[in-house]
Amino acid sequence: MTEQLRLMAVHAHPDDESSKGAATMAKYVSEGVDVLVATCTGGERGSILNPRLQGDAYIEEHIHEVRKKEMDEAREILGVKQAWLGFVDSGLPEGDPLPPLPEGCFALQDVEAAAEPLVKLIREFKPQVITTYDENGGYPHPDHIMTYKISVVAFEAAGDPERYPDAGPAWQPQKLYYNQGFNRPRTLALHEGLLERGMDSPYGEWLERWASFQKHERTLTTYVPCGEFFEIRDKALVAHATQIDPDGGWFRVPLEVQREIWPTEEYELAKSLVDTSLPEDDLFAGIREN
Protein backbone atom coordinates (compact mmCIF):
# COMPACT_ATOMS: atom_id res chain seq x y z
CA MET A 1 0.00 0.00 0.00
CA THR A 2 1.15 3.53 -0.72
CA GLU A 3 -0.93 4.92 2.15
CA GLN A 4 0.04 4.44 5.78
CA LEU A 5 -2.13 1.98 7.69
CA ARG A 6 -3.52 3.49 10.90
CA LEU A 7 -5.31 1.85 13.83
CA MET A 8 -7.13 3.67 16.63
CA ALA A 9 -8.04 1.87 19.86
CA VAL A 10 -10.63 3.69 21.98
CA HIS A 11 -10.51 2.86 25.70
CA ALA A 12 -12.21 4.08 28.85
CA HIS A 13 -9.30 4.27 31.32
CA PRO A 14 -5.52 4.04 31.42
CA ASP A 15 -4.72 0.29 31.74
CA ASP A 16 -7.61 -0.81 29.48
CA GLU A 17 -5.34 -0.55 26.44
CA SER A 18 -2.91 -3.02 28.06
CA SER A 19 -5.54 -5.58 29.04
CA LYS A 20 -7.57 -5.48 25.83
CA GLY A 21 -5.84 -5.87 22.48
CA ALA A 22 -2.34 -4.90 23.61
CA ALA A 23 -0.57 -7.76 21.82
CA THR A 24 -2.50 -6.91 18.66
CA MET A 25 -1.34 -3.31 18.83
CA ALA A 26 2.28 -4.32 19.46
CA LYS A 27 2.10 -6.67 16.46
CA TYR A 28 0.85 -3.94 14.16
CA VAL A 29 3.44 -1.47 15.46
CA SER A 30 6.14 -4.03 14.56
CA GLU A 31 4.75 -4.10 11.02
CA GLY A 32 4.92 -0.32 10.65
CA VAL A 33 1.26 0.43 11.31
CA ASP A 34 0.61 3.77 13.04
CA VAL A 35 -1.33 3.00 16.24
CA LEU A 36 -3.08 5.55 18.46
CA VAL A 37 -4.80 4.86 21.78
CA ALA A 38 -7.62 7.27 22.64
CA THR A 39 -8.16 7.24 26.42
CA CYS A 40 -11.51 8.71 27.43
CA THR A 41 -10.84 9.38 31.13
CA GLY A 42 -7.90 9.81 33.46
CA GLY A 43 -8.88 6.95 35.74
CA GLU A 44 -9.23 9.38 38.65
CA ARG A 45 -11.72 7.22 40.53
CA GLY A 46 -10.00 3.90 40.00
CA SER A 47 -9.30 1.90 43.13
CA ILE A 48 -5.74 0.88 44.00
CA LEU A 49 -5.98 -2.82 43.19
CA ASN A 50 -2.34 -3.80 43.75
CA PRO A 51 -2.11 -4.90 47.40
CA ARG A 52 1.53 -3.79 47.53
CA LEU A 53 0.49 -0.16 46.96
CA GLN A 54 -2.72 -0.03 48.99
CA GLY A 55 -2.52 2.45 51.86
CA ASP A 56 0.09 4.61 50.14
CA ALA A 57 -1.10 8.11 51.01
CA TYR A 58 0.82 9.83 48.20
CA ILE A 59 -0.68 7.56 45.53
CA GLU A 60 -4.17 7.96 46.95
CA GLU A 61 -3.84 11.76 46.95
CA HIS A 62 -2.24 11.99 43.50
CA ILE A 63 -3.91 9.06 41.74
CA HIS A 64 -4.56 11.06 38.56
CA GLU A 65 -0.88 12.01 38.13
CA VAL A 66 0.26 8.51 39.05
CA ARG A 67 -2.01 6.88 36.50
CA LYS A 68 -0.86 9.33 33.84
CA LYS A 69 2.76 8.31 34.46
CA GLU A 70 1.75 4.65 34.30
CA MET A 71 0.09 5.31 30.95
CA ASP A 72 3.25 7.00 29.68
CA GLU A 73 5.29 3.93 30.56
CA ALA A 74 2.80 1.48 29.02
CA ARG A 75 2.64 3.58 25.86
CA GLU A 76 6.39 3.41 25.47
CA ILE A 77 6.41 -0.36 26.00
CA LEU A 78 3.72 -0.91 23.36
CA GLY A 79 5.25 1.59 20.93
CA VAL A 80 1.93 3.35 20.36
CA LYS A 81 0.81 6.96 20.39
CA GLN A 82 -1.76 8.04 22.95
CA ALA A 83 -4.24 10.90 23.42
CA TRP A 84 -6.50 11.87 26.32
CA LEU A 85 -10.08 12.84 25.52
CA GLY A 86 -10.28 14.68 28.85
CA PHE A 87 -13.34 13.21 30.55
CA VAL A 88 -13.56 12.45 34.27
CA ASP A 89 -13.72 8.85 35.47
CA SER A 90 -17.22 7.85 36.63
CA GLY A 91 -16.06 5.22 39.10
CA LEU A 92 -17.73 1.83 39.44
CA PRO A 93 -20.89 2.20 41.56
CA GLU A 94 -21.29 -0.53 44.15
CA GLY A 95 -24.00 -1.31 46.67
CA ASP A 96 -27.72 -2.04 46.79
CA PRO A 97 -29.28 0.22 45.80
CA LEU A 98 -26.53 1.52 43.54
CA PRO A 99 -25.45 5.07 44.39
CA PRO A 100 -25.84 7.79 41.75
CA LEU A 101 -22.91 8.54 39.50
CA PRO A 102 -20.86 11.60 40.48
CA GLU A 103 -21.82 14.90 38.89
CA GLY A 104 -19.82 15.82 35.80
CA CYS A 105 -18.45 12.33 35.19
CA PHE A 106 -17.99 10.78 31.74
CA ALA A 107 -20.97 8.45 31.88
CA LEU A 108 -23.39 11.33 32.54
CA GLN A 109 -22.33 13.38 29.52
CA ASP A 110 -24.62 13.92 26.56
CA VAL A 111 -23.53 11.29 24.03
CA GLU A 112 -23.64 13.55 20.98
CA ALA A 113 -21.59 16.23 22.73
CA ALA A 114 -19.15 13.75 24.23
CA ALA A 115 -18.49 12.22 20.81
CA GLU A 116 -17.10 15.48 19.41
CA PRO A 117 -13.55 15.19 20.86
CA LEU A 118 -13.35 11.67 19.44
CA VAL A 119 -14.63 12.81 16.05
CA LYS A 120 -11.94 15.52 16.05
CA LEU A 121 -9.25 12.96 16.91
CA ILE A 122 -10.45 10.57 14.20
CA ARG A 123 -10.36 13.34 11.61
CA GLU A 124 -6.85 14.34 12.67
CA PHE A 125 -5.38 10.82 12.88
CA LYS A 126 -7.35 9.34 9.95
CA PRO A 127 -7.54 5.69 11.04
CA GLN A 128 -8.87 3.09 8.63
CA VAL A 129 -9.72 0.82 11.59
CA ILE A 130 -11.12 1.59 15.05
CA THR A 131 -11.48 -0.82 17.98
CA THR A 132 -13.72 -0.20 20.99
CA TYR A 133 -16.11 -2.09 23.33
CA ASP A 134 -19.46 -3.69 22.59
CA GLU A 135 -22.79 -2.39 23.89
CA ASN A 136 -22.18 -4.12 27.24
CA GLY A 137 -18.82 -2.42 27.62
CA GLY A 138 -17.06 -5.78 27.79
CA TYR A 139 -18.31 -5.62 31.37
CA PRO A 140 -20.92 -3.15 32.62
CA HIS A 141 -18.70 -0.34 33.87
CA PRO A 142 -20.52 2.92 33.07
CA ASP A 143 -17.40 4.37 31.42
CA HIS A 144 -17.00 1.33 29.17
CA ILE A 145 -20.60 1.55 28.05
CA MET A 146 -20.19 5.28 27.40
CA THR A 147 -17.02 4.55 25.42
CA TYR A 148 -19.04 2.24 23.21
CA LYS A 149 -21.72 4.89 22.72
CA ILE A 150 -19.41 7.70 21.65
CA SER A 151 -17.33 5.35 19.48
CA VAL A 152 -20.36 4.30 17.45
CA VAL A 153 -21.51 7.90 17.03
CA ALA A 154 -18.02 9.07 16.09
CA PHE A 155 -17.48 6.26 13.56
CA GLU A 156 -20.63 7.31 11.71
CA ALA A 157 -20.18 11.06 12.10
CA ALA A 158 -16.48 11.47 11.30
CA GLY A 159 -17.07 11.02 7.58
CA ASP A 160 -20.03 13.40 7.39
CA PRO A 161 -18.92 17.00 6.79
CA GLU A 162 -22.28 18.31 7.97
CA ARG A 163 -21.82 16.82 11.44
CA TYR A 164 -19.41 18.45 13.87
CA PRO A 165 -18.25 21.07 11.33
CA ASP A 166 -15.82 22.56 13.85
CA ALA A 167 -14.01 19.24 14.36
CA GLY A 168 -11.97 19.35 11.16
CA PRO A 169 -12.27 17.97 7.62
CA ALA A 170 -14.33 14.79 7.31
CA TRP A 171 -12.63 11.38 7.39
CA GLN A 172 -14.48 8.06 7.19
CA PRO A 173 -12.95 5.04 8.95
CA GLN A 174 -13.56 1.77 7.10
CA LYS A 175 -13.97 -0.80 9.88
CA LEU A 176 -15.18 -0.80 13.49
CA TYR A 177 -14.42 -3.69 15.84
CA TYR A 178 -15.43 -4.65 19.36
CA ASN A 179 -12.73 -6.10 21.62
CA GLN A 180 -13.68 -9.66 22.57
CA GLY A 181 -10.49 -10.90 24.21
CA PHE A 182 -12.41 -12.17 27.24
CA ASN A 183 -14.43 -14.78 25.41
CA ARG A 184 -15.70 -18.15 26.53
CA PRO A 185 -14.02 -20.31 23.84
CA ARG A 186 -10.59 -18.92 24.76
CA THR A 187 -11.22 -19.20 28.50
CA LEU A 188 -12.49 -22.78 28.17
CA ALA A 189 -9.56 -23.80 25.94
CA LEU A 190 -7.04 -22.42 28.42
CA HIS A 191 -8.86 -24.00 31.36
CA GLU A 192 -9.00 -27.45 29.78
CA GLY A 193 -5.46 -27.16 28.41
CA LEU A 194 -4.07 -26.39 31.84
CA LEU A 195 -5.91 -29.29 33.46
CA GLU A 196 -4.70 -31.66 30.74
CA ARG A 197 -1.14 -30.62 31.57
CA GLY A 198 -1.69 -31.29 35.28
CA MET A 199 -1.60 -27.59 36.09
CA ASP A 200 -3.93 -25.48 38.19
CA SER A 201 -6.40 -23.32 36.28
CA PRO A 202 -7.47 -19.84 37.43
CA TYR A 203 -10.52 -20.01 35.15
CA GLY A 204 -12.82 -22.51 36.85
CA GLU A 205 -14.76 -19.93 38.84
CA TRP A 206 -14.88 -17.60 35.82
CA LEU A 207 -16.54 -20.30 33.76
CA GLU A 208 -19.05 -21.09 36.50
CA ARG A 209 -20.06 -17.41 36.69
CA TRP A 210 -19.96 -16.76 32.94
CA ALA A 211 -23.72 -16.61 32.40
CA SER A 212 -24.11 -14.02 35.15
CA PHE A 213 -21.98 -11.40 33.40
CA GLN A 214 -22.53 -12.25 29.74
CA LYS A 215 -26.10 -12.83 28.65
CA HIS A 216 -25.24 -14.37 25.27
CA GLU A 217 -22.21 -15.55 23.37
CA ARG A 218 -20.55 -12.91 21.24
CA THR A 219 -19.75 -13.51 17.56
CA LEU A 220 -15.99 -13.80 17.13
CA THR A 221 -15.14 -12.77 13.59
CA THR A 222 -11.45 -11.94 13.72
CA TYR A 223 -8.54 -13.83 15.27
CA VAL A 224 -5.29 -11.84 15.16
CA PRO A 225 -2.16 -14.03 15.58
CA CYS A 226 -0.03 -12.19 18.12
CA GLY A 227 1.36 -14.79 20.54
CA GLU A 228 4.92 -13.56 20.14
CA PHE A 229 3.80 -10.21 21.57
CA PHE A 230 2.17 -11.57 24.76
CA GLU A 231 5.30 -10.68 26.76
CA ILE A 232 5.09 -7.04 25.62
CA ARG A 233 1.39 -7.06 26.54
CA ASP A 234 2.20 -8.27 30.05
CA LYS A 235 4.98 -5.71 30.53
CA ALA A 236 2.61 -2.93 29.53
CA LEU A 237 -0.01 -4.27 31.94
CA VAL A 238 2.48 -4.40 34.83
CA ALA A 239 3.37 -0.77 34.10
CA HIS A 240 -0.09 0.12 35.45
CA ALA A 241 1.18 -0.71 38.92
CA THR A 242 -1.76 0.73 40.86
CA GLN A 243 -4.20 -1.46 38.93
CA ILE A 244 -2.34 -4.75 38.48
CA ASP A 245 -1.03 -7.22 41.04
CA PRO A 246 2.05 -8.77 39.38
CA ASP A 247 1.38 -11.93 41.38
CA GLY A 248 -2.31 -11.99 40.45
CA GLY A 249 -4.47 -14.03 38.12
CA TRP A 250 -3.45 -12.17 34.96
CA PHE A 251 -0.07 -13.90 35.02
CA ARG A 252 -0.79 -17.40 36.32
CA VAL A 253 -0.71 -19.09 32.92
CA PRO A 254 2.83 -19.42 31.51
CA LEU A 255 3.30 -17.55 28.24
CA GLU A 256 4.49 -20.65 26.41
CA VAL A 257 1.28 -22.42 27.39
CA GLN A 258 -0.84 -19.48 26.24
CA ARG A 259 0.98 -19.40 22.90
CA GLU A 260 0.50 -23.13 22.42
CA ILE A 261 -3.19 -23.24 23.33
CA TRP A 262 -4.52 -19.86 22.14
CA PRO A 263 -2.04 -17.57 20.33
CA THR A 264 -4.56 -14.99 19.10
CA GLU A 265 -6.61 -12.00 20.28
CA GLU A 266 -10.23 -11.86 19.19
CA TYR A 267 -12.55 -9.19 17.84
CA GLU A 268 -16.11 -8.82 16.64
CA LEU A 269 -16.50 -6.94 13.36
CA ALA A 270 -19.29 -4.44 14.04
CA LYS A 271 -19.22 -2.33 10.87
CA SER A 272 -17.32 -2.60 7.61
CA LEU A 273 -17.39 -0.38 4.56
CA VAL A 274 -15.07 -2.72 2.64
CA ASP A 275 -15.60 -6.27 1.43
CA THR A 276 -14.10 -8.93 3.66
CA SER A 277 -14.64 -12.63 4.27
CA LEU A 278 -15.09 -14.13 7.73
CA PRO A 279 -13.35 -15.31 9.76
CA GLU A 280 -10.47 -12.86 9.44
CA ASP A 281 -6.93 -12.92 10.78
CA ASP A 282 -6.22 -9.24 10.15
CA LEU A 283 -8.04 -6.08 11.27
CA PHE A 284 -7.04 -4.54 7.93
CA ALA A 285 -8.51 -7.36 5.81
CA GLY A 286 -10.23 -5.77 2.83
CA ILE A 287 -8.24 -2.57 3.32
CA ARG A 288 -4.74 -3.80 2.47
CA GLU A 289 -6.08 -5.26 -0.77
CA ASN A 290 -7.50 -1.89 -1.80
**pLDDT surpasses 50 at 103:** yes
What are the pLDDT digits (tens) for 2-59? 479 999 999 999 999 999 999 999 999 999 999 999 999 999 998 888 888 888 888 8
Q: How many whole angstroms separate alpha carbon 109 and alpha carbon 162?
A: 22
Least confident of 10-14, 62-66, 164-168, 226-230: 62-66
Name the residue ranges covered by the structural domains of the chain.
Answer: 6-183+219-272, 184-217
**pLDDT surpasses 50 at 1:** no
User: Is position 191 annotated in a ligand binding site?
Assistant: no
Closest residue by Cα to residue 230 from 192, 256, 266: 256
What are the pLDDT digits (tens) for 262-287? 999 999 999 999 999 999 999 999 99
**pLDDT surpasses 50 at 209:** yes
What DSSP string runs through 73-99?
A: HHHHHHT-EEEEEEEPP-----SSSPP
Quick one: average pLDDT of 245-254? 85
For residue 252, the SS3 value is: coil
User: Is position 141 annotated in a ligand binding site?
Assistant: no
Least confident of 58-62, 115-119, 171-175: 58-62
**pLDDT surpasses 50 at 161:** yes
Q: What is the pLDDT of residue 46?
A: 84
Global pTM value: 0.95
Is residue 70 within 8 A of residue 115, CB to CB? The reply is no
Q: What is the pLDDT of residue 55?
A: 85
For residue 197, the SS3 value is: coil
User: Is position 34 annotated in a ligand binding site?
Assistant: no
Is 6-183+219-272 a domain of CATH 3.30.420.40?
A: no
- For a pLDDT cut of 70, what percent of the chain falls above it? 97
Average pLDDT, the chain: 94
Distance in Å from the first CA to the final CA of the chain? 8
